[in-house]
Amino acid sequence: MTSEKITAAAAGTWTLGDLTVNRIGFGAMRLTGSAAFNLGAPSERDRSIAVLRRAIELGVNHIDTAAFYFSSLRSANELINSALAPYADDLVIATKVGPFRNYAGEWSTSARPDDLRGHVEENLRQLGRDHLDVVYLRRMGQDSIAEYFGALAELREEGLVRHLAISDVEPRHLAEAQEIAPVVSVQNRFGLDSSSPETDDMLRICGEQGIAFVPFFAIAGDAGPQGATAAHGDEVLAIANAHDASPAQIRLAWSLAQGPHVLGIPGTGNPDHLTENVATGAIRLTEDELVRLNELHRKAG
């Protein structure tokens, strides 16, 4: 498959509240090389900036980031600001709050609800913006998210946040949040060989309610934050060969095929991988291929 001329528009679009994005976006975590995420050394700064600018050239208008994506050498938000400001009118930047790292990079306990204003303001400063397009509350094991989500809803009322979203949640948390304010997106770990009954239910519920579902580690599989898995079964390899595509592309294409509300945010510091990820939006899996891959997912679950 020739990838160089395929743009993010090939995957189609979805609307987050009132913000329309191409279904393939970009995840900024891997730009930092943070040891806390087991990502190894970061890309060269100039290369990371070039990757971000190339993403925009390829039609990417949805970037996923967080203030806690940083290492001793790199901050994802600072790279985004340096590469892309002044921002295009159609660029949607989604951030996450909830987890907390001190300036030495050490993880601390989960933030309190009254800490979240500071987290939002930190993202605003780093990105050089007067509001955040989408803010995810990343649940850190709390049984209830009501107080936390309520704190973000107050910031939405003040105009610091445009739309709210939630991450690493179960259906009951979505219902709890919706009693407080609208939810435009849910971000959970989900992939061909990575899921749970709760996440499968969440995928379905989001589709029924018109809420975006954004898998993280959709390509990585069991490798998680360490990068794309190399453990591809015969079915994945055979389907990749049939499409003249990489196994990683087939994994991402399968996740996108789960519904028009599913968005991709594959991350990379490699310009070739970026082009490949974006080109995945042009892959159309056959019904037979989807049945075979769905069966793999069922067995993994």
Q: Please report the pLDDT score of residue 256 as a whole number.
A: 98
CATH architecture of 8-300: Alpha-Beta Barrel (3.20)
Residue 14 contacts residue 281 (beta carbons within 8 Å): no
Q: How many other CB atoms are found less than 10 A from the CB of residue 237? A: 13
Q: Please report the pLDDT score of residue 35 as a whole number.
A: 54
CA distance 65 to 77: 7
Q: Which residues are catalytic?
A: 69
Please report, in tens digits, the pLDDT of each residue of the chain (301 residues total).
556 789 999 999 999 999 999 999 999 998 887 555 656 666 789 999 999 999 999 999 999 999 999 887 889 999 999 999 999 999 999 999 998 877 776 777 678 999 999 999 999 999 999 999 999 999 999 999 999 999 999 999 999 999 999 999 999 999 999 999 999 999 999 999 877 888 999 999 999 999 999 999 888 655 444 445 556 788 999 999 999 999 999 999 999 999 999 999 999 999 999 999 999 999 999 999 999 999 999 888 7
Q: Please report the pLDDT score of residue 65 as a whole number.
A: 97
Q: Please report the pLDDT score of residue 44 as a whole number.
A: 86
- Bridge partners of 164, per DSSP, are 135
